[in-house]
């Protein structure tokens, strides 16, 4: 797992490193600039004209140092100081002084005519509120210059200027980058859309912040990488089907057998020992033929005693895909919540029913993972989708804390919260915007929970795994061709490897 920080969290780590650890600010800056130059050299030519646009803050100081190092190595690099000289920080002043001593060319006016590579050191994590003039006009001018011309490159220092490093939203306007080299730790705003797109390809460079800085100023946010697959529950030789969890999937309605199939099959694929699907009679034959490994029970033959037996049997319940929102289903869900004690993954129509029955939260808290997409989240919270997207992390954290549940807020950039921590997902792709993809996720999380994972870990590992499966599916079948069936194949492939 790797930390994902807000601007303020990064500042606290910065300050602690400089003031308490004694690493001088200029040393960090030099390392930041060196790491950036190293990345750039893999992708630029010696003949390229490079212009570093620098603001008054330390982001500008980094930009000046980048220009000076490139110039010293024989590249055609120049500087344009965009910020107000009265606001230059001490470090930035020092960098300009060094650059002038060395003889790095300096533009007095912004002229992009012959430039091929632009380094954006206008604003970093110090940007507050909406970008003011004259910077707004400057950013628009650079964006126009870049246009869609592939031969022109923009490299953002730390974060693209104008982007909120906390929410991924533009603060008025953003200088669109092809590459971003971010220092210390990944920033939330670079993972969350539209920031992820505006930042281009991102490199995280450790420029010497000691681990102790993060221990003293821990971040609430984190993300997972491929090595975190190690965290998945281990399988044992000396085991049986009861070892890996019994999952009861309550899913499907008369014209929706697929939702039950996807959730049930995915729970099996991540390793569940036994899966039982409770669904209407109309789905019995379909599911028995499509998913013979699952046990099928039907609502029409379920009385109070048999429901109690099923609930006592299950280690985890996955509830909601394709169940509809009828009054009779609402009554059934209430009996399920009241009659069970095990973890619950509540998805889709289960969430829509919950939005109409707030009193159910008292039956759910402490043992439930809610997996809303933006529309369902809007129904659950009463906030508009735009309000939710303005700060996804905050929205997930708030619901989780207030309702004492785990919130998986699904989107192109999914976040997961237990009310204290925030997982930011980096796997997955637009090929996953396909019917049934969410049902697969519910089954994956249910399967992991049934295998004994804690709720929060089952939720974020499930999201990580599901996105990775989507990436494997896209690699094999392409974004358009892949459907939820291929996402399940992707799951099988990555879990095998």
Restricting to residues 210-229, name those near ligand NAX by CB under 6 A.
Answer: none
Contact between 166 and K ion per CB under 5 A:
no
Restricting to residues 332-361, name those near ligand ADP by CB under 6 A.
Answer: 348
**In this complex, which beta carbon is closest to ligand ADP, that of residue 428 or of residue 490?**
428
Contact between 234 and ligand NAX per CB under 6 A:
no
Q: Is 410 annotated as a binding residue?
A: yes
Contact between 433 and ligand ADP per CB under 6 A:
yes
Among 157, 399, 422, 458, binds K ion (CB under 5 A): 157
Q: Is 124 annotated as a binding residue?
A: yes
CB 29 within 8 A of CB 251: no
**In this complex, which beta carbon is closest to K ion, that of residue 70 or of residue 370?**
70
Among 410, 422, 448, 451, binds ligand ADP (CB under 6 A): 410
Restricting to residues 358-397, name those near ligand ADP by CB under 6 A.
Answer: 373
Minimum Å gap between C-beta 175 and ligand ADP is 24
- Length of the chain in terms of residues written: 497
User: Binding segment for ligand NAX among 128-136, 143-151, 235-243, 277-285 (CB under 6 A)?
Assistant: 128-136
Contact between 59 and ligand NAX per CB under 6 A:
yes
**In this complex, which beta carbon is closest to ligand NAX, that of residue 128 or of residue 289?**
128
Q: Could you write out the three-class secondary structure of the chain?
A: CEEEECHHHHHHHHHHHHHCCCCCHHHHHHHHHHHHHHHHHCCCCCCCEEEEEECCCHHHHHHHHHHHHHHHCCCEEEEEECCCHHHCCHHHHHHHHHHHHHCCCEECCCCCCCCCEEEEECCCCCCCCCCCCCHHHHHHHHHHHHCCCCCCEEEEECCCCCECCCCCCECCCCCCCCEEEEECCEEHHHHCCCHHHHCCEEEEECCCCCHHHHHHCCCCEEECCHHHHHHCCCCCCCCCCCCCCEEEEECCECCECHHHHHHHHHHHHCCCCEEEEEECHHHHHHHHHHCCCCEEEEHHHCCHHHHHHHHHHCCEEEECCCCCCCHHHHHHHHHHHHHCCCCEEECHHHHHHHHHCHHHHHHHCCCEEECCEHHHHHHHHCCCHHHHHHCHHHHHHHHHHHHCCEEEEECCCCEEECCCCEEECCCCCHHHCCCCHHHHHHHHHHHHHHCCCCHHHHHHHHHHHHHHHHHHHHHHHCCCCCCHHHHHHHHHHHHHC
**In this complex, which beta carbon is closest to ligand ADP, that of residue 169 or of residue 437?**
437
Q: How many residues touch ligand ADP (CB under 6 A)?
A: 18
Among 91, 120, 166, 391, binds K ion (CB under 5 A): 120
Among 67, 115, 441, 461, binds ligand ADP (CB under 6 A): 441
Minimum Å gap between C-beta 69 and K ion is 17
Cβ neighbours around 152 below 10 Å, total = 17
Minimum Å gap between C-beta 465 and ligand NAX is 33
User: Binding segment for ligand ADP among 66-74, 117-125, 391-399, 405-413 (CB under 6 A)?
Assistant: 405-413
**In this complex, which beta carbon is closest to ligand NAX, that of residue 212 or of residue 254?**
212
Alpha-carbon torsion 127, 128, 130, 133, what sign?
negative
CB 409 within 8 A of CB 351: no
Contact between 412 and ligand ADP per CB under 6 A:
yes
Among 43, 87, 476, 480, binds ligand NAX (CB under 6 A): 87
Among 161, 169, 413, 434, binds K ion (CB under 5 A): 161
Binding residues for (6S)-NADPHX: 58-62, 124-130, 135, 158, 259, 322, 373, 439
Binding residues: 58-62, 120, 124-130, 135, 158, 161, 259, 322, 373, 410-414, 438-439
* Interface residues toward ligand NAX, by CB under 6 A: 14, 18, 25, 28-29, 32, 55-60, 62, 83, 87, 89, 91, 123-132, 135, 157-158, 183
* Interface residues toward K ion, by CB under 5 A: 120, 156-157, 161
Binding residues for AMP: 410-414, 438
* Interface residues toward ligand ADP, by CB under 6 A: 348, 373, 410-412, 414, 428-430, 432-433, 435-439, 441, 466
């Amino acid at each position: 797992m790797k930390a994902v920080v807000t601007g303020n969290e990064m500042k606290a780590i910065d300050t602690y490193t400089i003031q308490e650890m004694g690493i001088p600010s200029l040393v960090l800056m030099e390392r930041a600039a060196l790491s950036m130059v190293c990345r750039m050299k893999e992708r630029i030519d010696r003949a390229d004209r490079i212009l570093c646009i620098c603001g008054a803050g330390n982001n500008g100081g980094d930009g000046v140092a980048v220009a000076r190092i490139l110039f010293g190595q024989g590249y055609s690099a120049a500087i344009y100081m965009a910020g107000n000289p009265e606001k230059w920080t001490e470090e930035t002043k020092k960098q300009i002084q060094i650059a002038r001593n060395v003889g790095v060319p300096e533009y007095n006016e912004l002229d992009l005519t012959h430039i091929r590579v632009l380094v954006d050191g206008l604003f970093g994590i110090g940007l507050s509120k909406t970008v003011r003039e004259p910077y707004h006009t400057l950013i628009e001018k650079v964006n126009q210059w870049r246009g869609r011309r592939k031969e022109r490159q923009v490299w953002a220092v730390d974060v693209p200027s104008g982007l909120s490093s906390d929410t991924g939203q533009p603060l008025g306007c953003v200088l669109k980058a092809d590459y971003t080299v971010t220092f210390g730790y990944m920033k939330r705003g670079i993972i969350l859309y539209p920031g992820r797109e505006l930042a281009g390809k991102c490199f995280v460079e450790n420029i010497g912040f000691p681990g102790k800085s993060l221990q003293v100023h821990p971040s609430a946010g984190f993300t997972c990488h491929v090595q975190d697959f190690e965290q998945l529950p281990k399988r044992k030789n000396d085991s049986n089907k009861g070892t890996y969890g019994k999952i009861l999937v309550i899913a499907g309605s008369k014209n929706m057998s697929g939702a039950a199939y996807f959730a049930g099959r995915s729970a099996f694929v991540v390793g569940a020992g036994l899966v039982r699907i409770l669904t209407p009679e109309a789905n019995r034959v379909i599911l028995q033929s499509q998913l013979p490994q699952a046990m099928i029970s039907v609502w029409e033959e379920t009385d109070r005693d048999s429901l109690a037996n099923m609930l006592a049997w299950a280690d985890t319940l996955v509830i909601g895909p394709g169940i509809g929102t009828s009054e009779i289903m609402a009554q059934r869900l209430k009996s399920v919540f009241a009659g069970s004690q095990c973890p619950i993954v509540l998805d889709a129509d289960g969430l829509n029913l919950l939005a109409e029955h707030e009193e159910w939260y008292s039956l759910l808290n402490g043992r439930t993972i809610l997996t809303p997409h933006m529309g369902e989240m809007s129904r659950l919270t009463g906030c508009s989708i735009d309000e939710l997207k303005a700060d996804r992390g905050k929205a997930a954290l708030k619901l989780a804390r207030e309702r004492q549940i785990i919130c998986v807020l699904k989107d192109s950039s999914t976040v997961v919260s237990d009310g204290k921590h925030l997982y930011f997902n980096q796997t997955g792709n637009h090929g996953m915007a396909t019917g049934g993809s969410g049902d697969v996720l519910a089954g994956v999380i249910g399967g992991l929970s049934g295998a004994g994972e804690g709720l929060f870990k089952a939720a974020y590992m499930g999201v990580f795994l599901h996105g990775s499966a989507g990436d494997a599916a896209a690699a094999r079948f392409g974004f358009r061709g892949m459907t939820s069936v291929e996402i399940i194949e992707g799951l099988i492939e990555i879990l095998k490897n």
